[in-house]
Structure 1
Amino acid sequence: MGTPGQLVVKRYRLVRALGQGGMGMVWEGHDTLLDRVVAVKEVLVPHRLDSRQQLQMIHRTSREARTAARLNHRNIVGVFDVAEEDGRPWIIMELVPSRSLDRVIGSEGTLSVPRAATIAREVLTALSIAHTAGVVHRDVKPANILIGYDGRVVLSDFGIATSLGDPSAQRSGTVGSPGFVAPERAGGAPAAPEGDVWSLGATLFAMVAGRPPFDSSMGPLASLLTQDAEVAKAPAELRPVLAGLLAKDPAKRMGAAEARRLLDDVLSPEDAAAPSGRAGGGSRSKLLAGVVAAAVVVAGTIGGWAVLRPDGIASAGRAGAPPTGAPVPGVPSPGATPFATPAPVPSRLKLKWHDAGQGWKAAVPRGWQLSIRQNYFTWSDRTGTAYMGVEFFDAQGRVPIELMRATEDSLSSSVRKYRKIRLVKLPATREGVSKNDGMVEWESTWTGPGYHSWAVKGVPYHELQRMIVTGNRISVIDWVTTKTEWDRLKPTLDSILRLYHPPSQ
């Protein structure tokens, strides 16, 4: 077992143990190469296994870690690196302050319907992305859902996730957790997306009832009969989606699109725009009630580039909540006309330079609020009608146009009335971008709610993302406004794109 101060593969220093789970020990670590805090999962190989079984376990763990690393999305556990030392795999992940959903329920009791529906919707997005990539989670339950102190929802622990095309998906060794495993999986059926959907339904029920929808100690038939009776006792607003998600026959089980529609119908515009960590109502400055600061391992996107997310507002240089009484993005102030046309202002906003001392520089609107989380920076207009983001990650041989298409798939599947205006390669002719590098630009319109947590139900938005490759670095500029504000603020966007200085490496 590792020890504090140990340097793994001459790069990751173990700082302190955070806890031990089914796969081994989790450490807070320090990436000495990139100078950042990380989580390090030390996989402990049981001594009872013979050498052949130990080697199989190591290979399987590495394969499953690579499977998880394919899923770059803000709601999904991700992997930075997989290393091997002393004959054991070490998985390097992001470290985010959060609490698991089961702890939230245990300390706060059952959740309100809006809060439960919001969390379920975020997890549904994570599952949709994973299933589209051909990956099944296999163990969706409250303990594997992390609620960040900023409201971010992350589906964690893809430790037994598997690719649909992997023959090991047929193995019956680990099928999930009692009370949250689909009936066909308990009966020995292979892993499939429908099983994850059932587990999400059981988790949604647990959020509002404090327990799974049936007693796992009963036989299968008795359990399912009990489940039907229990669902009938659930809050009326959730009964349709629960009945669909928990359908006994996988072939008749509700799909993701219908489940999202029913969950959206449960939520008011304010609920849809609110962070999921909030218990319904109140401003964004209210974090999870009774939260004690602690670090829980979640693996989010590598920078979360896929759709840049100004979903937390903070003073410059500090991630957190706005001052009490500050306007809330996407939610009109009391007494105000929602998204009323603002008083005339200059068509090009005044800009200022933001230089983080990391080799890049961006012109940003004066007076907009800054939020920083890992490798992405977001600014938001105080009226909640315009947002800007800048984010970075390693190129690692990725093809920009393919990455942007994957981004489009992620956004278009989670919003309403999506329309692509263009997704094109741009000539790399600007300063700082060599002819051997390149740029991709994607423009679209869509209607909230959806992937962006601040997007208000029924409000149309206009968005542009530009991906810039410089050496082995990729940066993404994201610009989103309400549709009515797009033309007025377009000159500002043009200036921001023209003045941006990307990192050279």
Structure 2
Amino acid sequence: MGTAGQLIVRRYRLLRALGQGRTGLVWEGHDTLLDRPVAIREVLLPPNLSETARLRLVQRISREARQAERLHHPHIAAVYDVGEEGDTPFVVTELVPSRSLDGVVSGDGPLPPAEAARITRTVLSALTHAHAAGVRHGDVRPANVLLAHDGRVLLADFGMTVPATDPAFTRDPVPGGPPAGRGTETYLAPERAAGGPRTAAADLWSLGATLHLAVTGTPPPGQGPLEEVPGELRAVLTGLLAREPRRRIDAETADRLLAEIEPPSPPPPVRRGLSRARLVTGIAAAVLVACAVGGWAVGGWAGLRPGGENRAGAGAVASLTASAPASPLASSSATPSGSASGQPARRLKLKWHTSDAGWRAGVPRGWTREDLPYSTSWRSLDGGAAFTVEVTGQRGTDPLAALGEAEEILRPDARTYRKLRLRAVTGEHGPSADWEFTWTPRRASARDHLAKGVEYHQYRRVISTGTTTSVLTWTAPAADWDTLRPTLVRVLSLFQPPSLGATPSPA
């Protein structure tokens, strides 16, 4: 069994164990060659295997993982590599800060039909892509549907069918993991449970079983009517869960039925008429345009440049902001560059934090740091305000689409939600998007330090580079927003994703 700090195949370092199941351990790891975070599955082979049986299993695991490496889709958790250290196989995949679908249902209850349809249709798009490439998943279940913290929905564990379903693992569960007979078997199509091969139709049955749990909280019954299923989902679930593969609906039919239930996508943000030439006429002009469109300079171009406030002139930024029409996008008061009292708000002093993963941020001095498995947060002394950074090795993220999905996930858990902005912005690090909103949580959350009945104000930025996705989140009680806003402007302008060179002083 691996240990924290161990280097696997001279490249991947094990950092901390994230969980243990019947087939082994999942580690948070670091790719020392590409300098990026990864997830590493240590496949613990059943004891007492003959050498021939062990070689057979290792070869099958390696072959399936190599097939999964070919898949590149925005809703598939990428498989990066597979290798052996000693006699143990390791499968290296994308690290996705997320909650699994079964965890969400277990903790928060069944999903509304429209939300469940949206998630299922997204997973279906991933399966359709894999099937077209000749790859079958073989282990579609709620534990492998990930609702990422940045709003994405991903299907994970491609290439892991062997340890998930091989009889050797069923007979000899890993000590400390879940007992055999739970989990995977519940979501296997009837023909697969009877020993049949992996097929696209079998994956679709498993997807239907996953949807059943999402909307009812329980797996589908072995036989009989789907009495607990909401009426609008009964047709698609009846079609997906047909016991005979030839009677099962295909992916195209399932997608059409789910599309009828899924809520319509919000219209794309209106990009007001500015030509490319006008955007390069200078920093001051860019700030003025940003104020006219959004009411807040950081929503445009100047605030995205490290030190942009200094180069444009702090006085110029304040003057231009004050001259723009008052906008709820910038502040809850009529003085967007000041506090609620009308006095200029003072920016908090900042200090540098450089992550082991290579990103760098200017953060408020005196705030308490919290290192979580997938993120780093700084919290004010009174616990009300927080700044959180999450950086993953996800490539090709569409920032605006990711935030749009995150908004749909937030809505059921919020009341008095008010969107202030959700739009793409131009940044020097790569495609970016900003989402600003106020909301009142329906319930208190000790984990997130949210109090019931308190209105909060949040600004979230997603930055997509060629190798990483960064999510910056600033949250504060709405009553404190104006006071903290100048600090937020500076913090966002200073952030540097991994491997982008030096940055200016945060002071």
TM-score band by shorter chain is 0.5 to 0.7
Match of 2:22 in 1: 22
CA shift in 2, pair 1:205/1:272, >3 Å:
farther
Match of 2:496 in 1: none
Matched, 1:260 2:354: no
What is the CA–CA distance in structure 2 between the aligned matches of 1:20 and 1:187, rounded to whole Å? 27
Match of 2:188 in 1: 181
Conservation of the 8 A alpha-carbon contact between 1:78 and 1:302:
no
Deviations 1:15-57 (A, max 9, x none): 1111122332111112222222111222223331122211222
What is the CA–CA distance in structure 1 between the aligned matches of 2:235 and 2:153, rounded to whole Å? 23
Q: What amino acid sits opposite 1:96 in the alignment?
A: V
1:372 to 433, 454, 463: 463
- Give how far 1:84 is off: 2.2
Conservation of the 8 A alpha-carbon contact between 1:40 and 1:90:
yes
What is the CA–CA distance in structure 2 between the aligned matches of 1:377 and 1:304, rounded to whole Å? 7
Match of 1:312 in 2: 402
What is the CA–CA distance in structure 2 between the aligned matches of 1:94 and 1:201, rounded to whole Å? 25
Partner of 1:326: helix, strand, or coil? strand
Match of 1:91 in 2: 91
- Give how far 1:4 is off: 1.2
What does 1:26-425 correspond to in 2, within 5 Å? Answer: 26-161=26-161, 177-214=184-221, 223-224=222-223, 226=224, 229=225, 231-270=226-265, 294-295=373-374, 303-305=394-396, 308=398, 310-313=400-403, 325-328=419-422, 354=428, 356=429, 371-373=462-464, 375=467
- Give how far 1:328 is off: 3.2
CA shift in 2, pair 1:2/1:252, >3 Å:
same
- Give how far 1:248 is off: 2.3
Deviations 1:147-183 (A, max 9, x none): 1122211111224448xxxxx9x98877983332212
Conservation of the 8 A alpha-carbon contact between 1:23 and 1:159:
no
- Give how far 1:132 is off: 0.8
Partner of 1:261: helix, strand, or coil? helix
- Give how far 1:246 is off: 1.3
What is the CA–CA distance in structure 1 between the aligned matches of 2:190 and 2:231, rounded to whole Å? 24
What is the CA–CA distance in structure 2 between the aligned matches of 1:366 and 1:112, rounded to whole Å? 26
Point out where structure 1 has 5 or more consecutive residues left out of the alignment: 163-167, 215-222, 274-291, 315-319, 331-350, 357-361, 380-505
User: More displaced, 369-378 or 90-99?
Assistant: 369-378
- Give how far 1:262 is off: 0.9
- Give how far 1:116 is off: 0.6
Point out where structure 2 has 5 or more consecutive residues left out of the alignment: 171-180, 269-370, 376-391, 405-409, 412-416, 437-459, 472-507
- Give how far 1:69 is off: 1.0
Deviations 1:307-344 (A, max 9, x none): 85632349xxxxx99x96323359xxxxxxxxxxxxxx
- Give how far 1:237 is off: 0.8
- Give how far 1:123 is off: 1.1
CA shift in 2, pair 1:186/1:58, >3 Å:
closer
What is the CA–CA distance in structure 2 between the aligned matches of 1:171 and 1:366, rounded to whole Å? 45
Partner of 1:13: helix, strand, or coil? strand
Q: What amino acid sits opposite 2:8 in the alignment?
A: V
CA shift in 2, pair 1:293/1:145, >3 Å:
farther
Question: Which 4+ stretches in 1 moved above 6 angstroms?
Answer: 170-176, 362-369
- Give how far 1:304 is off: 4.4
Deviations 1:367-425 (A, max 9, x none): 9996224626799xxxxxxxxxxxxxxxxxxxxxxxxxxxxxxxxxxxxxxxxxxxxxx
What is the CA–CA distance in structure 2 between the aligned matches of 1:25 and 1:69, rounded to whole Å? 20
Match of 2:451 in 1: none
CA shift in 2, pair 1:266/1:155, >3 Å:
same
Partner of 1:33: helix, strand, or coil? coil
Aligned pair count reads: 307
Conservation of the 8 A alpha-carbon contact between 1:24 and 1:41:
yes
CA shift in 2, pair 1:179/1:372, >3 Å:
same
Conservation of the 8 A alpha-carbon contact between 2:431 and 2:464:
no
Conservation of the 8 A alpha-carbon contact between 1:83 and 1:90:
yes
What is the CA–CA distance in structure 1 between the aligned matches of 2:470 and 2:260, rounded to whole Å? 29
- Give how far 1:366 is off: 13
User: More displaced, 172-181 or 140-149?
Assistant: 172-181
- Give how far 1:254 is off: 0.7
Partner of 2:83: helix, strand, or coil? strand
Match of 1:335 in 2: none
- Give how far 1:105 is off: 0.6
Match of 1:455 in 2: none
Percent of residue pairs identical: 44
- Give how far 1:294 is off: 4.8
Deviations 1:164-205 (A, max 9, x none): xxxx9x988779833322122223322211111111111111
CA shift in 2, pair 1:199/1:366, >3 Å:
closer
What is the CA–CA distance in structure 1 between the aligned matches of 2:11 and 2:470, rounded to whole Å? 30
**TM-score for both structures, normalised by structure 1:** 0.54
Conservation of the 8 A alpha-carbon contact between 2:14 and 2:30:
yes
CA shift in 2, pair 1:53/1:240, >3 Å:
same
Conservation of the 8 A alpha-carbon contact between 1:41 and 1:90:
yes
Match of 1:389 in 2: none
Conservation of the 8 A alpha-carbon contact between 2:212 and 2:219:
yes
Larger Rg: 2
Partner of 2:402: helix, strand, or coil? coil
Match of 2:384 in 1: none
Conservation of the 8 A alpha-carbon contact between 2:69 and 2:80:
yes
- Give how far 1:293 is off: 6.2
Conservation of the 8 A alpha-carbon contact between 2:208 and 2:237:
yes
What is the CA–CA distance in structure 2 between the aligned matches of 1:241 and 1:366, rounded to whole Å? 35
- Give how far 1:83 is off: 2.4
Deviations 1:214-238 (A, max 9, x none): 1xxxxxxxx32x2xx2x24421111
Q: How well do the aligned residues superpose, as a CA RMSD in angstroms?
A: 4.0
Q: What amino acid sits opposite 1:178 in the alignment?
A: E
CA shift in 2, pair 1:303/1:177, >3 Å:
closer
- Give how far 1:141 is off: 1.1
CA shift in 2, pair 1:153/1:272, >3 Å:
farther
